[in-house]
Amino acid sequence: MSLENTTPIAKRLSNLEEHLKEENDFLADVIPTFRKLDAIAYKLGLLNKDQHSYVTRISWWPIISVLGTFSAGKSTFINHYLENHLQRTGNQAVDDKFTVICYSGENSTNTTLPGIALDADDRLPFYEIGRELGQLTGTPGQRADTYLQMKTGFSKQLRGKILIDSPGFDADDQRTTTLRGITQHIIDLSDLVLVFFDARHAEPGAMRDTLNYLVRTTIDRADSNKFLYILNQIDVTAREDNPEEVIAAWQRSLAQAGLTAGRFYRIYNPEVAMPFEDPQVKERFEKKAFADLNEIHRRMDHVSMDRAYRLTGMLEHSVKEIEDKLVPMLQELIQRWKKRVFWTETVLGVGLIALISMWFAATGTGSELWDILTGWSSSSLLILLGILILLAITLHLKVTKKAAHSVIEKFKRNKEMTDHYAHECVVRAFQKNTCLFRSLFIWLVNEPIGWSQSSQQRLREVLNDLNRYVQSLNNRFTNPSGKKAEVAVAKVTTKSPAPAPISVAAG
């Protein structure tokens, strides 16, 4: 076995591939295409071969994350869906941690495990999250227990999937920044994202920042169809003189945050609902809420099927992101680097020539120096020339290094870059492109390392593979010809195994 196949990332991918073969053979078939894309990204420097892979953006089991504001009814919704009082509920914030909820096996009790159970298990979300938390908080060795916990329980709805409940954002800037960093990680991994808002807050404008974060940063994503925006606890609006105006106010607020299309669900939990005084109002609210609730549950129950299509969409997005965003961004940074080096060295060269000319003019030693040099032997002149070239190369490398540092620091401060993953990829690739060899021959640098007609052709091959995968997946669910054919829906919807029961000793 080669050393390459024994690296932690290689082992992790191998284990994931074996698992996906058991869950859904279609997903396992896609893994080689992910590896093709990895190879291109490694060559470009967008990914670190020992630490990164596009495949690691796939979770072992489908993930449904529940995001939202404080007391928006997220935990109550989860308990109702699971038919298990697993999460604490209340009018105030009760859980200040992200909670990963897993199936524990039949006849087992609900169990809470610390964050280390997530940090050390590559089958679960947040594997090695402690290292990332250290970068977010500026505290190396930050414990995952501070922000994460895992709960296990028996519920048939949990079989074959993982739920993540999130805390609300608070006024602590450092904590909010960290929570948002973790939230972004969750969103990237999730196959379905439920975004909850609380209808009891009559003035949604008071929580504008949270609305913007949970809506504005999600609607432009390539996988935006995995987001469901939910106005919960609408039963409280039945007591208003004009309940429709409360809902309309929320719709306007969401529209201002950018949500002008897509489904906007209105639900409440009948188990904790306020009593309706008007039977007609009750019937109207129940009809709408139950219809929306059933649709949400349907999406949650079919998350495995959605996941198969989402993965192909994610691959396609990654290919286009490399072509249309990351490489052009990298090319621009390289040109900025070359331009900065050119002008810096031009100014230094002109300044040096001017200083030497002024010194000779002031001292009148130019002719004397020339006489001395002409009296030297050829070997001495060659040594002097070598020293001058070495000094010039040293100065050139210092200039290129400083210019690269200046360009990348300015890029890191670019607040318009909201996609942190893409931002890190470009920074990593730029650092590879400003290595010693390319700095030395900077004027011969035209394209990023690894970007050629051959790599572009391989990207085309990845897209062709994806088209074949989608057709194969469609064949499992459709039969336009009407001919007799076995539609293997069960392979996607029923073959997903339950996450392995989590032992309490694991914590």
Identify whether residues 152 and 49 lie together within a single domain. no
Identify whether residues 231 and 174 lie together within a single domain. yes
23 within a domain of the structure (yes/no): yes
Which of 249, 277, 301 marks a domain boundary? 301
Identify whether residues 153 and 163 lie together within a single domain. yes
Identify whether residues 106 and 254 lie together within a single domain. yes
pLDDT value of position 454: 93
For the domain that residue 201 is a member of, what is the CATH number?
Answer: 3.40.50.300
pLDDT value of position 140: 57
pLDDT value of position 134: 63
- Whether 437 shows a pLDDT value over 60: the answer reads yes
Identify whether residues 260 and 321 lie together within a single domain. no
- Which residues touch 319 (CB under 8 Å, ≥6 apart)? 37, 459, 462, 463, 466
Identify whether residues 410 and 275 lie together within a single domain. no
- The residue ranking higher by pLDDT, 46 or 236, is 46
Task: Report pLDDT digits (tens) over 209-219.
Answer: 666 667 766 76
Task: Report pLDDT digits (tens) over 299-320.
Answer: 998 888 788 888 888 888 889 9
Q: Are 44 and 327 in contact (CB under 8 A)?
A: yes
pLDDT value of position 46: 92
Beta bridge partners of 112: 151
pLDDT band at 367 (very low <50, low <70, confident <90, very high): low
pLDDT band at 451 (very low <50, low <70, confident <90, very high): very high
- Whether 503 shows a pLDDT value over 60: the answer reads no
- Whether 101 shows a pLDDT value over 60: the answer reads yes
6 within a domain of the structure (yes/no): no
468 within a domain of the structure (yes/no): yes
Range of the domain at 263: 59-301
- The residue ranking higher by pLDDT, 345 or 147, is 345
pLDDT value of position 339: 94
- Whether 460 shows a pLDDT value over 90: the answer reads yes
- The residue ranking higher by pLDDT, 70 or 346, is 346
pLDDT value of position 332: 94
pLDDT value of position 504: 36
Which of 301, 325, 354 marks a domain boundary? 301
pLDDT value of position 488: 44
Alpha-carbon gap, residue 239 to 281, rounded angstroms: 10
Identify whether residues 324 and 271 lie together within a single domain. no
pLDDT value of position 280: 77
Out of 214-218, 410-414, 429-433, which region has the weakest mean confidence (pLDDT)?
214-218
Alpha-carbon gap, residue 319 to 186, rounded angstroms: 22
H helices of 160-242, in order, are 173-189, 208-211
- Whether 44 shows a pLDDT value over 70: the answer reads yes
356 within a domain of the structure (yes/no): yes
Phi, psi of 134, rounded to the nearest 5 degrees: -60, -40
Task: Report pLDDT digits (tens) over 382-409.
Answer: 887 888 889 999 999 999 999 999 999 9
pLDDT band at 197 (very low <50, low <70, confident <90, very high): confident
Identify whether residues 83 and 190 lie together within a single domain. yes
Q: Average of pLDDT values for 282-297?
A: 86
pLDDT value of position 64: 93
Identify whether residues 54 and 67 lie together within a single domain. no
Task: Report pLDDT digits (tens) over 72-89.
Answer: 788 888 888 888 787 776
- Whether 33 shows a pLDDT value over 80: the answer reads yes
5 within a domain of the structure (yes/no): no
pLDDT value of position 179: 75
Cα–Cα distances (Å) from 265 to 196, 198, 250, in that order, read: 9, 12, 11
Question: In the chain, what percentage of residues exceed pLDDT 70?
Answer: 75
Identify whether residues 496 and 479 lie together within a single domain. yes
pLDDT value of position 481: 67
98 within a domain of the structure (yes/no): yes
Identify whether residues 282 and 330 lie together within a single domain. no
- Whether 505 shows a pLDDT value over 70: the answer reads no
Q: Average of pLDDT values for 23-37?
A: 80
What DSSP letter does each residue of 361-372 carry, written as one string? HHH--HHHHHHH
Which of 301, 328, 349 marks a domain boundary? 301
Task: Report pLDDT digits (tens) over 323-348.
Answer: 999 999 999 999 999 999 999 999 99
- Whether 195 shows a pLDDT value over 70: the answer reads yes
- Whether 322 shows a pLDDT value over 90: the answer reads yes
Task: Report pLDDT digits (tens) over 1-20.
Answer: 344 456 777 777 788 778 77
Domains contained in the chain, number: 2
Average pLDDT, the chain: 78
7 within a domain of the structure (yes/no): no
Identify whether residues 139 and 279 lie together within a single domain. yes
pLDDT value of position 205: 52
Q: Are 228 and 195 in contact (CB under 8 A)?
A: yes
Helix (H) or strand (E) holding 424, with range, is helix 420-433
324 within a domain of the structure (yes/no): yes
Q: Average of pLDDT values for 121-146?
A: 69
Q: Are 476 and 487 in contact (CB under 8 A)?
A: yes
